[in-house]
Amino acid sequence: MGESKLAGQFFDAAIGLLQKVRDEDAADIAAAGTVIAEAVAGGGRLFAFGAGHSSLAAQDVVYRAGGLAVMNLLAVPGVVGVDVMPATLGSALERVDGLAGAVLDSSPARAGDVLIIISLSGRNALPVEMAMNARALGLTVIGVTSVAYATETKSRHVSGTFLKDHCDIVLDSHIAVGDAELTHEGIEAPFAPASTVVTSALMQATMAAAAEELVRIGIEPPLLRSGNVDGGHEWNGRVMAEYGDRIFFRH
């Protein structure tokens, strides 16, 4: 069998977007890495949040080989992904006022911590309120979003604002409104979303920038190793013991 034309087109689209964020978001990625490194160096804690498919990029930097041990998932029940039944409930919960505030108030997050909020559209009540409340609590907020939505859609938050309006640093994924890269004759709806590929790359690039900055200021980055390589469990045990007071994904 030959190659799929549409598969190749998706790779081309994804590669183009990755090149765009590498070139246009470089300064913001570096700034976000510095903020994260300074929090680690100063005893702060790190949290990542995303709703629906945006949660995939948040989960991608939590408790994983090659990742910072002190990155925690700020989970909102029912919106982490398609684990809720019906799946449409998760989308509905993103529009509920007050939910983000309740989650933050019951979380370990405090002033001086860093919260990364991932929301492709940035228009729903949950990420907007999460950013507003987090900043009010004294957290530094890094938003990962598609800024295009702020000019081409309307906010669903009572303030009329978007996630990008309440962040200390914004990383723009440059994903087009609708999150589908391809169209094809005979296929009625656009398809092949690239937001997960691009947003996860933004997150990993930011973690790399943080590790680089930690080394620059003389601190060994608290990275986890794969448990599937010899010595991995011992390494991780040492890191988790040293940073245990900042790790919330275990008892």
Backbone region of residue 237 per phi and psi (left: phi > 0; alpha: psi in -120 to 50; beta: other values): alpha
Task: Check pLDDT > 70 for residue 123.
Answer: yes
Higher pLDDT, 232 or 52: 232
Residue 99 has phi, psi (to 5 degrees) of: -65, -45
Q: Which of 3-12, 152-161, 230-239 has the lowest mean pLDDT?
A: 152-161
pLDDT value at position 4?
Answer: 94
102-116, pLDDT tens digit by residue?
999 999 999 999 999
Alpha-carbon distance of 83 to 73, in angstroms, equals 16
pLDDT value at position 1?
Answer: 64
pLDDT value at position 75?
Answer: 85
Higher pLDDT, 228 or 83: 228
| Tokens read off for 181 | 């890269």
157-211, pLDDT tens digit by residue?
889 899 999 999 999 999 999 999 999 999 999 999 999 999 999 999 999 999 9
**Predicted model pTM:** 0.95
Helices (H), 1-136: 5-24, 26-41, 54-59, 88-93, 99-105, 125-136
pLDDT value at position 251?
Answer: 65
Higher pLDDT, 94 or 74: 74
Q: State the number of CA atoms in the 13 A half-sphere of 226 facing the CB.
A: 3
Coil/strand/helix, residue 145: strand
131-145, pLDDT tens digit by residue?
999 999 999 999 999
pLDDT band at 84 (very low <50, low <70, confident <90, very high): confident
C-beta separation of 207 from 171 below 8 A:
no
Higher pLDDT, 174 or 251: 174
29-39, pLDDT tens digit by residue?
999 999 999 99
Alpha-carbon distance of 205 to 217, in angstroms, equals 19
Mean pLDDT of 209-217: 98
Mean pLDDT of 66-89: 88
Residues in contact with 223: Cβ distance below 8 Å, sequence separation at least 6, in sequence order:
66, 67, 68, 69, 211, 239
Q: What is the mean pLDDT of the chain?
A: 94
Alpha-carbon distance of 9 to 151, in angstroms, equals 27
End-to-end CA distance of the chain: 51
pLDDT band at 146 (very low <50, low <70, confident <90, very high): very high
